[in-house]
A and B are shown apart, each in its own frame.
Chain A
Amino acid sequence: MGEEETTDAEKSVVKNVARLTAATADERADAAELLCRAGTAAAVAAVPLVKACGDDDDGVREWVVAALEELGPPPKTDVPALDTLAGESNPLVAYWAITLLGRSGPDAAAAAKVLAGCLESADPAVAQRAAWALGRIGPGASVGRGPLERAAAAADPRLARLAAEALAAIGP
């Protein structure tokens, strides 16, 4: 791809990130769809996309989620912002912030304390994803060892399994 084309793709992502907070749901959904079609090139839009998981409109949220599924790992510089969003009360926002932290692997070690707190979430998907993310961080998530040991004894079989796997990944 030529330098000019790369610049146009980047400009498109920036433009559509701005449109994610447009006044109309149709425009926000269109922006999310275009970011989804950008694939991993939209990784720079990780934080705005996670925030957009809190949109009131179903159509916007579906395209935002689809974009996040295709995004790959976020830029390392997004870890602090995602750390904050992982504690959001909106379960979909928290879930995707946690997912992107997990995709960051060891680079998200600074978020391990917040993720350990998410193991107590009332939303099962959030708690399970937090266990998964701690496992992806690995030894750098040792601060989560105690909460993970409690989660490994949970009645939720998926949470228990993911917590046990995370403990194995963190190591002794």
Chain B
Amino acid sequence: MSPVHPHNPTASHKPPAGVLPLVAACLLALLAPAAARAQPAPGGGPAAKPWDAVLIASFNIQVFGESKMAKPQVVEVLARVVRNFDIVAIQEVRAKSDDIIPAFVRAVNADGSRYRHVIGPREGRTVSKEQYAFIYDTDRIEVDASSIGVVPDPQGRLHRPPMHARFRTRITPAEMAFTFWLVDIHTDPDEVPQELEALTGVFQAMQAARPDEDDVILLGDLNAGPPEFKSFGRIPGVAWAVAGTTTNTRRSKTYDNLVFARPATNEYLGGWGVLDLQSTFGLPLDRALEVSDHNPVWGAFYPAEVRSQPGAIAGGASPARR
């Protein structure tokens, strides 16, 4: 079964026009089989993943802790979700134990997959704290361990300051690989406008964090859809994957997204989706809510760096929404 909202299902995932060196294009053509559609496989794994796209996802797994991990049917669904993607940014790890994510990754890898994880510190202003995590397919993605950290927030503008890490794709030669920052966020639902304004500064700070890295993908549960972004939506060149559809399990709100900037992140292929838990796994609403009150959202990115050139226009895929 496909996700409910597979956008650009027939778009060929060719690199943005005019910017891929001819030599690299020939190399990729020699190395690769025919391109598969860059969409999640229907819940099974390890699915054959496309050579010409990496799928980056965000998933708020509501209260991901001991009680959820104690439900094998829930863990199985979560594992099948993760196997669809090359990286999943997770929000709402809420556990006293430090073994929740390691145990979950073992479940993901039970089919022979080779995922690993990065997890952040416990954050929050009260005794109820959350952790961010990234789970990534080591066959296709590697992390720069020195890049892992939490965005400083000395003015206390963010309830749970985002975790950042820099990744590189492994399915292209290293010198061509797409490298990028991921910034994982879960805003406070009671202070969304204020936190989005703070995230404007966060995004721009991450853009300037390294002179050799222009790709920033901020993703997570923003508790807001694009019409509510205000200053966050006016960052120069900013674009986002998800628009015009809902992202929560009840199909009533647009809370989750992947946000990046053009022309820096011309690697974005225009393919995106919301993996609807109910329709993908044939679950009634109450069983889907047992997994999470959010659906995962994802975007497809070209696995090689795309150098933006003056006047170059990304082609071959729908433009990112803004």
Contact = CB atoms under 8 A, between A and B. Distances in A.
B285 to A, nearest CB: 9
Contacts of B109: none
B315 interface: no
A37 B126 contact: no
Interface residues of B, number: 24
A102 interface: yes
DSSP class of B's interface residues: helix, strand, loop or mixed? loop
A91 B293 contact: no
Interface string A44-86: 0000000000000011011101100110000000000000000
Contact of A66 (B63, B66, B155, B157): B63
A103 interface: yes
A69 B125 CA distance: 14
B286 A92 contact: no
Contact of B127 (A92, A156, A158): A92
B190 A102 contact: yes
A92 B92 CA distance: 18
B156 interface: yes
Contact of A157 (B156, B189, B191): B156
Contacts of A125: 125-126
A39 B251 CA distance: 13
A91 B250 CA distance: 32
B269 to A, nearest CB: 34
Interface string B184-195: 000001110000
Interface centre among A36, A58, A92, A95 (most CB of B within 10 A): A58
Contact of B128 (A29, A70, A92, A128): A92
A92 B129 CA distance: 12
B62 interface: yes
Given A63-B67, A69-B189, A158-B155, A124 B125 contact: yes
A28 B65 CA distance: 16
A104 interface: no
B126 A157 contact: no
Given A37-B293, A70-B293, A92 B67 contact: no
A115 B14 CA distance: 58
A108 B309 CA distance: 56
Interface centre among A69, A70, A99 (most CB of B within 10 A): A69
A29 B250 CA distance: 22
A99 B159 CA distance: 14
Given A59-B67, A65-B128, 13 more contacts: A36-B62, A37-B293, A39-B250, A61-B128, A63-B63, A63-B67, A99-B190, A132-B190, A157-B156, A158-B155, A158-B156, A158-B157, A161-B155
Interface of A: 29, 33, 36-37, 39, 58-59, 61-63, 65-66, 69-70, 91-92, 95, 99, 102-103, 124-125, 128, 132, 156-158, 161
